Amino acid sequence: MTSQIIEGINKSVASVGKVAAEKGQAGISTGAGLAYGLVAVGAGLAMVGAAGAGAGQGIAAGRAADAVGRNPEAEAKIRTMMIVGSAIAESAAIYALIVSILLIFVY
């Protein structure tokens, strides 16, 4: 698994270098092209945090559905706890989105 991740990162950096070289030929300095490409890669990596939040919310919703199936009388308490937990997990995804937007538009 780790080797696949490293291989994917190497491919991404190679494609960023290719884009930077093309921008360098178009009159933009290679350093600026490479920097912008790496900003795009950083924004993409920042959004990995959203994937973790989504997976966590899916697991929580599944467990809540199981709990309601076992104990229907506790549905209101289970729903409340699930919504609070989902809101906390979603805050991490929102922070990742803000970081990505800042990386793309501030640079």
Q: What is the DSSP letter of 72?
A: G
DSSP symbol at 50: H
pLDDT of residue 69: 92
State which residues form the domain around 67: 51-106
For the chain, how far is it from start to end, CA to CA, in angstroms? 32
Q: Is residue 65 part of a domain?
A: yes
Do the domain assignments include residue 33? no
Report the residue count for the chain: 107
CATH number of the domain that 86 lies in?
A: 1.20.20.10
Q: Looking at the domain assignment, is residue 74 inside a domain?
A: yes
Q: Is residue 31 part of a domain?
A: no
Q: What is the pLDDT along the chain (107 residues), one digit of tens a residue?
A: 667 766 776 666 666 566 655 655 555 555 667 777 888 888 888 888 788 888 888 898 999 999 999 999 999 999 999 999 888 888 888 998 898 888 888 87
Residue corresponding to tokens 């900003």: 39
Flag whether 73 is in a domain. yes
Does residue 99 lie in a domain region?
yes
pTM above 0.75, yes or no: no
In a domain, 4, yes or no: no
* Number of domains making up the chain: 1
Sign of CA dihedral 53, 93, 88, 66: negative
